[in-house]
């Protein structure tokens, strides 16, 4: 087990870091205020292959290992967690197809993403959060058996208004439940499929988050992923694969806040000396340093286990839960170290704090992660 980056990984990280400094950091406040990506940024991200990092090489992607993908997302999050979320959502939406798609589905789906396009993973509904088995969007097979009619509403969908292709989960059983959950590939512009309202969020504001509405939306049978009723397993395996990356984004947020407050503490003078010389501040900074380092290692460990083909569901939950808790704690303390200046938008730490909160919520709340960890540990 060696988490030292090799030369190729170091070069990838250097390129991403350079892109972040040049194309993201100067526009972070603008994107936070407008709730949109800076004009032209998506094409620049695509030009570096960042939209297809999880796509296998045989289908036109880069096919990077999880450890490297995690490092990329950490670097992106240091610049803007909203941008990192936009990019990471493509990996999240790719995993259901990687996990359960046939070769024809993979080719069709990934050809779309490879044309510099975004994708979206559509599971959550207004009445369905942690309880994926209660999905109420229905998929009713047509009389000729050649397709399905989808009806229902999804909410909190990252890239909802920007994506060209979606993986949508619907229930094929009248009685509902996890045994009826089924996954479908749906193209943007399909009749009966519309994008609803965009959410006005507290954090990760540069990422697009919307409703999706399905009203007699026809989906051909060949766009069904796996068997009917196989969707719950697809969704859970997908979330396992993606959770370490939420941890990686969380580490990036925490690292950025940590560095910002350290620099501030060295120049902020009170009582005739820098506050970095005060023991209470030093104690907070030491705690932050330990938490960030520990979170990064747990993320790398979960990614490494995935790359080795090992069972890593518990470790994915540990990495996500720990890193997002660390991000919330570190950003809160960074604001505290900076005092009133940490609370105003002229300085970046208040944004880091707002961005960190969602990391404890999406792709499985941290309460759910603790249940996963406990069950995997006990049973």
Residues known to be catalytic? 363
**Helices 313-342 & 349-359, crossing angle to 10 degrees?**
150
* Chain centre to alpha carbon of residue 54: 13
CB 229 within 8 A of CB 173: yes
CB 54 within 8 A of CB 69: yes
Which residues are CB-contacts of 369 (< 8 A; sequence separation ≥ 6)?
243, 317, 318, 320, 321
Which of 36, 25, 31, 61 lies closest to 46, judged by CA? 61
């Amino acid at each position: 087990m060696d988490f030292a980056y090799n030369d190729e990984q170091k070069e990838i990280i250097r390129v991403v870091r350079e892109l972040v400094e040049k194309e993201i950091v100067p526009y972070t406040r603008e994107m936070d205020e407008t709730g949109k990506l800076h004009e032209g940024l998506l094409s620049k991200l695509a030009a570096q292959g960042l939209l297809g990092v999880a796509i296998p090489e045989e289908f036109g992607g880069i096919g990077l290992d999880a450890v490297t993908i995690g490092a990329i997302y950490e670097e992106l999050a240091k610049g803007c967690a909203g941008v990192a979320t936009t990019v990471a959502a493509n990996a999240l939406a790719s995993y259901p197809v990687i996990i359960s798609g046939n070769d024809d589905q993979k080719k069709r789906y990934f050809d779309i993403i490879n044309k510099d396009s975004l994708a979206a993973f559509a599971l959550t509904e207004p009445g369905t959060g942690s309880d994926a088995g209660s999905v109420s969007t229905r998929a009713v097979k047509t009389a000729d058996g050649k397709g399905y009619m989808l009806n229902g509403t999804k909410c909190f969908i990252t890239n909802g208004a920007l994506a060209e292709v979606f993986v949508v989960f619907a229930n094929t059983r009248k009685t509902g439940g996890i045994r009826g959950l089924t996954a479908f590939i749906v193209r943007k512009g399909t009749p009966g499929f519309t994008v609803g309202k965009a959410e006005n969020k507290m954090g990760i504001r540069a990422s697009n988050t919307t409703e999706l509405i399905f009203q007699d939306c026809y989906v051909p049978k060949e766009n069904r992923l796996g068997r009917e009723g196989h969707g719950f397993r697809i969704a859970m395996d997908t979330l396992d694969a993606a959770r370490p990356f939420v941890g990686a984004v969380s580490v990036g947020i925490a690292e950025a806040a940590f560095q910002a407050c350290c620099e501030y503490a060295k120049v902020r003078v009170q009582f005739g000396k820098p506050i970095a010389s005060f023991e209470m501040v030093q104690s907070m900074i030491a705690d932050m340093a330990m938490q960030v380092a520990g979170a990064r290692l747990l993320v790398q460990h979960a990614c490494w286990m995935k790359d080795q083909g090992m069972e890593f569901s518990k470790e994915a939950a540990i990495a996500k839960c720990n890193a997002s808790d660390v991000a919330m704690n570190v950003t809160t303390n960074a604001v505290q170290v900076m005092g009133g200046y940490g609370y105003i938008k002229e300085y970046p730490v208040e944004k880091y704090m707002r961005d960190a909160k969602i990391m404890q919520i999406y792709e499985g709340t941290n309460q759910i992660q603790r249940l996963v960890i406990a069950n995997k540990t006990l049973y």
